[in-house]
Each structure stands twice: as structure tokens, then as C-alpha cells.
Amino acid sequence: MEILSNVVNYLLSLGAAIFVPIIIIIAGLIVGMKVKDAISSGITLGVAFTGMTMLISFMTGAISPAAEAMLETVGISLPIVDGGWTTMSTISWSWPYAFLMFPLMIGINVLMLVINKTNTFNADLWNVWGKIFTAVAVVGITGSVPLAFAVAAVQIVFELKSADAHQHRIETLSGIPGVTCTHKMVFLAAIFYPIDKLLRKIPALDKDFDAESLKDKVGIFAENHVLGFILGCVFGVLARYSIAETLTLAIQAATALTLFPVITKYFMQALSPISEAVSDFMNKRFEGRTLLVGLDWPFMGGSNEIWLAVIYSVPVTLIFSMFLPGNEILPFAGIINIALAVPAFLVTGGNLLRMIILCTIGSPIFLWVGTAFAPFMTNLANTTGAVQLEAGKMISNSSIDGPVFTYAFSHVFKFLEGNFIPLIILIVWVVSFIFYYRDLMREAKAAQQLEQEEPLEAAEA
């Protein structure tokens, strides 16, 4: 058992840029790709992941100090340290039963594929730590390991069903066929869904307004490099930087926004061949069935709307952290909150105005959940020694993926103590997810029927 644990931990320690391409190469060979094509796709995917990680680190390194300076300006001091997702991952993997989540995730995926309850093959095995994080939260509250794995299993099922439902919209927005997102960050879209439905009823908000529309309205000022420069200048001024520091930050922001779409092209280059091979493989063996490849979110990173929403959310989150009742976490490592922008992007179909509204509404959720998770994450960090903390310090994350789902499903057993709030939140999330799932599936079915009708109409003409 210890040997298996060491092997699994070693493979996962390689990181997504190595581990996921290995899975893709193996999958490509299984579905009949030529060795050279499979290896080429895998290496290109590794390049894309590394490039996206470098850009996000570069952007975080530029903006985080400015955000910290803004907080220092107003003299804000909050007791919970924001360790970001990397620290949460480290703490999660320190759980003694963490390695068992790996076979559970694969087993459920294979079973659901065999009984035709999903069309998604989750290649994003590296992010198994997200399930471990939820399990750790359950154990921290209930003390029950079996219950922790049961809740993690539920999360795995929801991830696969969510991936199935989102595929058509993701393909429409990203232009990459046969690929979907299995990351639990998209779970927040279920909560955003009813709000977005209401926003769509407002005439001014129901019109197309993506990054391209913004360019039509303001011209060069909406070009990636110019917009990034302007936003960087704004951050520099708010942080009370010198002129030189402000201009440096402006160029850094311009660089990041310019290069994000460039990196995304490599995701398309890597994933298109494997997507075609998987599709051919499934068509030969399962008539009428299409297998989807589930991945982490970065392949959608070429969408400018995501980054505009991310940058907008930084000052919004900082302002909320200062005045939000019940918040005790100082947002820092998680200040670049992808887990807020991606669900808003998906549920709105890339409508920038509605994304900004949803990000404003969603920011407090992350702060509250980050505060709620601090006690047992701190306890686990201290008992395992995974993270060294100063005496009296607490640690959490201000951008926990799928915060509503993670909080509700891990804290639901609090109702045994008379606290019914997590149970109510869980019911709200599940109901919202069901309606959102149905809406996405109807959208995909309508698009499929339209595609089938077009050739017939062309033939008749």
C-alpha cells in the first residue's frame, strides 16, 4: 500500500504540465493515434500548460504586490493567511488517505462510461486533489473517513455530468471540438444561472457584448495590449506606485493580456488531433456516441473576457475584504481568481457586462467560504506539518474552487448540530444545477438538430 501511495504521489508531484500530457499520450495510443502524433500532441499540451502557468504566475507576481499595497494604504489587517490553491493542494495531499482518491476517481469514470451515464473521459487526473480537499473538509467536520469518500464520489459524478452538459457551450466559445472541462470550479455556474436568467431580461444586458464588441465601441482602447496597459496604470495609481513602478506594471499587464490568446492556440494544436482520434475510436465501437476529453480550464484561456473579469475582480475583492461582515481572510495568493471568472464566462456565454455583475455578486462568496474553511485547514496543516505556520496564525484560500458546492457538501452534516444553513445551501445548489444542466442540454440538442437540418436543406435547394 505504501509503495502504491509513493508511486501515485510521485507521478502527481510532476505537475499538470507533465502528468496530463502523459495521460493524453497514453489515451492517444489506445485510440489508435500514430506514436509520433500522440507524442507530438502530448508535448505540445505540456508546452501549452507550462506557458499558461508561466503567464498566470507572471501576472500574479505583478498584480499581487499592488493589491497588497492597496490594503496597506487603508491599514487593513485580517487574521487568516491566504495560501492560495497551491498551499491547499499541499495540505490536502498530506491527508493519510489521499492516494486512495486516485483509483476512486478512475473507477467511477470508467463505470459511468460503461453504463452510458457520461460521455466524458476525465484526463485531468492531476486535479484529483480537488476531491481530496472536499474529503478533508468532511473529515474535519464529521471525523468520518467513509463519509468523506462518499461525498468525494458525489463530487466526481457531478463533475462528469457538468462536463457533459458544458461541452457544446465550451466548444462554441473556445472553438476546440471534443473537449470539455471537468474542473469543479465550473460548479459556481449553477448558482450564477438563475441570476443570469434575470439579468437577461434586462434589455441592455441581453445584447451581445464580448471583447470583440468592446473593440467595436471603443476601438484601439479595447485592444489587448492597450487595455492591459490602461488597467496596469489604474492599479499602479491605486497602489500609490511611483511613475516608473506604474509604467512597469502597465507594461506587465499589457504583456499578459497580449500573450494569453497566443498560448491558447497551442492547446488547440495539441487537442484537435486527440479529439479527432477519440471520436473515430468511439464511432467504430459505439455507434451514435461521442467520447469527450475532460481537462482543466486553461484551454479556455484565450478568451479575453475571462482575463478582463479576473482583473476587474481584484479591486472588487479587496474592497469586499475590508468591509464584508464575517470575512476574516486577507486575499493575497488567491487574488487572481480564475474560479470566479470562468463560471461567469460559461453561464453568460461570454457576455462581459453580465460577467462583471456576476463577479461582483460572487466575490463575497469566496471570502466567506475561505473564512469558514480556515479552522480545519489550519489544524490539518499543523498536525501534518505540511505547512509551517506562526503560532496563532490561521490559513485558508480566498479562491476555493466551486465554493458553494464545496461548502454545502462538506458542511451539510452540521444540521445534526442544529445548523441547517449548509443543508439549505446544498438544496439550492442542487436545484439550480438541475435546471442549468437541462438548459445546457437543450441548447446542445437544438444545435445538433440544426446541424443535421442544414445539409438536408442544402440538398433540397
pLDDT tens track for 299-308: 888 788 888 8
Instruction: Give the whole-angstrom CA distance, residue 298 versus residue 270.
Output: 13
Tell me: pLDDT of 42 over 60: yes
State residue 193's pLDDT score.
Answer: 97
Length of the chain: 461
Where does 341-398 show beta strands of DSSP type E?
394-396
Mean pLDDT of all residues in 84-112:
83
Of 176-180, 222-226, 248-252, 267-271, the least confident:
222-226
Mean pLDDT of all residues in 340-354:
94
Instruction: Give the whole-angstrom CA distance, residue 152 versus residue 105.
Output: 9
Share of the chain above pLDDT 90, in %: 30
Three-state secondary structure call for residue 121: strand
State residue 150's pLDDT score.
Answer: 95
State residue 197's pLDDT score.
Answer: 95
Tell me: pLDDT of 75 over 60: yes
Mean pLDDT of all residues in 436-441:
96
Closest CA relative to residue 345, chosen from 369, 362, 365: 362
Instruction: Give the whole-angstrom CA distance, residue 10 versus residue 102.
Output: 13
Closest CA relative to residue 409, chosen from 372, 453, 363, 454: 372
> How distant, in Å, are the alpha carbons of 88, 96, 409 from that of 92?
6, 9, 17
Tell me: pLDDT of 442 over 80: yes
Cell of 9: 504521489
Instruction: Give the whole-angstrom CA distance, residue 52 versus residue 32.
Output: 29
Tell me: pLDDT of 268 over 80: no
Pairing outcome for strands 80-82 and 179-181:
unpaired
Find the largest Cα–Cα distance for the chain. 77
- Label residue 50 by pLDDT band (50, 70, 90): confident
Instruction: Give the whole-angstrom CA distance, residue 223 versus residue 257.
Output: 9
Cell of 256: 499578459
Where does 152-208 show beta strands of DSSP type E?
179-181
List CB contacts of 163: < 8 A, sequence separation 6 or more: 118, 120, 122, 180, 181, 182, 292, 294
Mean pLDDT of all residues in 74-87:
77
Q: Find which of 136-145, 194-203, 233-242 is predicted with most confidence, using mean pLDDT.
A: 194-203
Mean pLDDT of all residues in 431-459:
82
- Label residue 355 by pLDDT band (50, 70, 90): very high
Q: Specify whether the CB–CB gap between 62 and 260 falls below 8 A.
A: no
Tell me: pLDDT of 381 over 80: no
Instruction: Give the whole-angstrom CA distance, residue 182 versus residue 123.
Output: 9
State residue 357's pLDDT score.
Answer: 95
Tell me: pLDDT of 154 over 60: yes
Tell me: pLDDT of 172 over 60: yes
- Label residue 15 by pLDDT band (50, 70, 90): low
Q: pTM to 2 decimals?
A: 0.83
The single-letter code of the amino acid at 406 is T
Radius of gyration of the chain (CA): 22
State residue 222's pLDDT score.
Answer: 52
Instruction: Give the whole-angstrom CA distance, residue 68 versus residue 341.
Output: 21
State residue 215's pLDDT score.
Answer: 57
Mean pLDDT of the chain: 83
